[in-house]
């Protein structure tokens, strides 16, 4: 089913913000470009504004013959919109004008005339990804646009539509905004889902991507600095950031244009060394949360989102116009949460933490359940912390028998002082949620063998003229780590 089969604009209300709620691949843009005129008699292309959240969307959607990319230097069309001149033949023959949010903000704040009404001749405004009104704080003067929208709705002389897969953030902010919302389709429409949901932490991403996930992967980080941290640990990876960022490079522009033109991530990129490099993992900021379409032939099978709120997860996963193999949500420390604990993002992250710690097994999951094929009990929780990494690093350096070592004497674990040293490290790294007195070598041994991917042999040998039993750590396989087991001990839940 497509959204054009569900939307009847006779149900729209000019004094309310009308919402079309549906996911990617459901034909929202096609509806605006091809079907909206059939439901709005007497409305010309030049009287419709299409506002998009990313320049990527503008570049991609303006390839449609029915849509024209807005030129901010085109004073003729702005004068027509503001009622200073009649529609010219050139404007008559153009498609629906598409622009980004910053450009409509520029018009309503800087392109006004004393004797004319701003955007007087516009009859319909469509805000694509309308959650941007509340989610994208980096867009300057967004509050001015929200005030203008509210005042326009009070007049009731234009039809305002908002399209989004995540309308909940609008309901979250509508009361303070002072605007009534009108949901045109009572049940949001979603077409594609993920076969498996995995919940993890930011620190676990490199291990998860390199050992667990098959196929190509796309990761959305909170910041450019986070992107760089992951790139250092993930081979064959490439970073994509906003064009407005001072660190945006020519290599990024080439990859960006390839994605826009081909609707897939290139398999290789040309580095600043002039050589081709494999691109298996694309690491990006929220610049690619919207605005691109990915086709299945490109091989992106996994989406990793370092935001734990419904909005970012839904929008980023929605870049794929097909079912994903894996959707991964990674809890990420964000400093601003400490000073803005009542924000939408902060509340969502707290809900996610409760889910990860099994304090509330449904609330957070239900916010994205429509993106997943399986029920909540099939979610994989996979979370290596820096503390656990520290314990694994200690064991591997001190006690894991190297492959080429013949003399294993120094790796045999039988002395009480050695066992105490291992237990001490387990206490320091908080491997179990328990009091220090409850830690025993036997408990730590079981965690290592059953949860941390270690192969441990129980042997006997004559040591100092005495038959002695000892443990020998002969192998470590990261792919066999069972962090559901480890985390269940940490979170005081029963494990068989």
What percent of the chain stands above pLDDT 90? Answer: 52
Is 496 within the bounds of a domain?
no
- The predicted-structure confidence for 152-197, as pLDDT tens digits, reads as follows 999 999 999 999 888 878 887 777 899 999 999 877 777 889 999 9
Q: What is the DSSP string of 94-145?
A: S-EEEEEHHHHHHHHHHS--TTS-TTTT--EEEEETTTHHHH-TTSTTHHHH
pLDDT of residue 102: 94
Taking alpha carbons only, the member of 53, 3, 18 closest to residue 158 is 18
Higher-pLDDT residue of 491 and 118 is: 118
Is 495 within the bounds of a domain?
no
pLDDT of residue 487: 66
Do 318 and 419 lie in one domain? The reply is no
In sequence order, what are the beta bridge partners of 160?
A: 125
Q: What are phi and psi of 71, to 5 degrees?
A: -110, 115
Q: CB-based contacts of 96: which residues, under 8 Å, 6+ apart?
A: 32, 33, 45, 48, 49, 50, 66, 67, 68
- The predicted-structure confidence for 138-153, as pLDDT tens digits, reads as follows 788 999 999 999 999 9
Q: pTM for the whole thing?
A: 0.67
Do 257 and 314 lie in one domain? The reply is yes
Do 322 and 412 lie in one domain? The reply is no
Taking alpha carbons only, the member of 131, 105, 102 closest to residue 119 is 105
Helix (H) or strand (E) holding 476, with range, is strand 466-476
Is 259 within the bounds of a domain?
yes
Do 80 and 174 lie in one domain? The reply is yes
Is 334 within the bounds of a domain?
yes
How many domains does the chain fold into?
3
Helix (H) or strand (E) holding 39, with range, is helix 36-39
Do 351 and 454 lie in one domain? The reply is no
Do 226 and 362 lie in one domain? The reply is yes
- The predicted-structure confidence for 5-40, as pLDDT tens digits, reads as follows 889 999 999 999 999 988 777 888 888 888 888 898
At which of 382, 400, 435 does a domain end? 382
Is 189 within the bounds of a domain?
no
Q: What is the DSSP string of 295-331?
A: -GGG-EEEEEES--SHHHHHHHHTTBSS-EEEEEEEE
User: Under a CB-based contact definition with an 8 Å cutoff, are residues 453 and 481 in contact?
Assistant: yes
Do 378 and 391 lie in one domain? The reply is no
pLDDT of residue 495: 34
Neighbours of 347 (CB within 10 A): 14
Domain limits at 131? Answer: 3-183
What confidence tier does 492 reach under pLDDT thresholds 50, 70, 90? Answer: very low
Do 254 and 374 lie in one domain? The reply is yes
Do 221 and 364 lie in one domain? The reply is yes
Taking alpha carbons only, the member of 154, 489, 168, 107 closest to residue 311 is 168
At which of 183, 209, 224 does a domain end? 183
Do 128 and 239 lie in one domain? The reply is no
What confidence tier does 248 reach under pLDDT thresholds 50, 70, 90? Answer: very high
- The predicted-structure confidence for 406-422, as pLDDT tens digits, reads as follows 889 999 999 999 999 99
pLDDT of residue 110: 93
| pLDDT above 70: residue 491 | no
Q: What is the CATH number of the domain that holds 157?
A: 3.40.50.300
What confidence tier does 494 reach under pLDDT thresholds 50, 70, 90? Answer: very low
pLDDT of residue 496: 33
Q: What is the DSSP string of 424-449?
A: HHHHHTT-SSS-GGG--HHHHHHHHH
Please provide the average confidence, as pLDDT, over all residues in the chain.
88
Do 247 and 155 lie in one domain? The reply is no
User: Under a CB-based contact definition with an 8 Å cutoff, are residues 429 and 387 in contact?
Assistant: yes
At which of 361, 382, 403 does a domain end? 382
Is 341 within the bounds of a domain?
yes
Instruction: Find the range with the poorest average confidence among 110-124, 268-282, 382-396.
Output: 382-396
- The predicted-structure confidence for 345-374, as pLDDT tens digits, reads as follows 788 888 998 898 778 889 999 989 989 999
pLDDT of residue 47: 95
Highest mean pLDDT of the ranges 22-26, 199-203, 234-238, 463-467: 234-238
What confidence tier does 332 reach under pLDDT thresholds 50, 70, 90? Answer: confident
What confidence tier does 459 reach under pLDDT thresholds 50, 70, 90? Answer: very high
Do 353 and 282 lie in one domain? The reply is yes
Is 188 within the bounds of a domain?
no
Is 171 within the bounds of a domain?
yes
């Amino acid at each position: 089913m497509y959204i054009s089969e569900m939307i009847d604009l006779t149900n729209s209300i000019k004094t309310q913000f009308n919402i079309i709620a549906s996911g990617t691949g459901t034909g929202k843009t096609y509806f605006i470009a091809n079907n909206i005129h059939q439901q709005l008699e007497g409305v010309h292309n030049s009287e419709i504004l299409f506002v998009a959240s990313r320049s990527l969307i503008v570049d991609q959607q303006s390839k449609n013959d029915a849509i024209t990319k807005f030129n901010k230097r085109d004073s003729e069309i702005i004068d027509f919109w503001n009622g200073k001149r009649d529609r010219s033949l050139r404007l008559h023959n153009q498609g629906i004008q598409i622009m980004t949010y910053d450009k409509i903000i520029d018009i309503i704040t800087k392109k006004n005339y004393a004797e004319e009404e701003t955007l007087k001749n516009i009859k319909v405004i469509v805000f694509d990804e309308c959650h941007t009104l509340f989610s994208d704080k980096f867009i300057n003067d967004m509050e001015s646009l929200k005030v203008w929208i509210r005042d326009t709705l009070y007049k009731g002389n234009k039809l305002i539509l908002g399209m989004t897969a995540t309308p909940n953030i609008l309901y979250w902010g509508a009361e303070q905004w002072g605007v009534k919302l009108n949901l045109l389709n009572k049940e949001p429409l979603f077409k594609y889902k993920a076969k498996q949901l995995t919940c993890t932490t930011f620190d676990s991403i490199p291990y998860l991507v390199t050992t667990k996930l098959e196929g190509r992967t796309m990761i959305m980080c909170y910041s450019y600095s986070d992107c760089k941290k992951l790139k250092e640990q993930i081979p064959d990876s490439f970073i994509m950031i906003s064009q407005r960022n001072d660190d945006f490079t020519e290599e990024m522009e080439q990859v960006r244009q390839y994605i826009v033109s081909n609707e897939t991530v290139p398999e290789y990129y040309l580095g600043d060394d002039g050589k081709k490099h494999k691109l298996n993992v694309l690491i990006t900021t929220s610049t690619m949360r919207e605005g691109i379409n990915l086709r299945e032939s490109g091989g992106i099978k996994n989406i990793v989102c370092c935001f734990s709120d419904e909005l970012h997860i839904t929008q980023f996963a929605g870049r794929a116009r097909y079912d994903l193999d894996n959707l991964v949500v990674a809890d990420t420390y964000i400093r601003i949460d400490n000073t803005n604990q009542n924000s939408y993002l902060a509340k969502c992250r707290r809900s996610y933490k409760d889910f990860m710690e099994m304090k509330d097994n449904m609330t957070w999951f239900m916010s994205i359940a429509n993106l997943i094929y399986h029920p909540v009990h099939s979610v994989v929780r996979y979370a290596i912390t820096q503390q656990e990494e520290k314990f694994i690093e200690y064991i591997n350096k001190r006690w894991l028998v190297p492959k080429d070592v013949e003399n294993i004497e120094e790796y045999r674990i039988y002395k009480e002082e050695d066992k105490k040293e291992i237990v001490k490290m387990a206490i320091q790294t908080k491997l179990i949620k328990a009091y220090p007195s409850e830690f025993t070598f036997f408990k730590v041994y079981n965690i290592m063998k059953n949860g941390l991917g270690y192969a441990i042999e129980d042997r006997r040998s004559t040591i100092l003229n005495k038959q002695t039993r000892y443990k020998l750590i002969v192998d470590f396989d990261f792919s066999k780590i069972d962090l559901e087991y480890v985390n269940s001990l940490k979170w005081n839940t029963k494990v068989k």
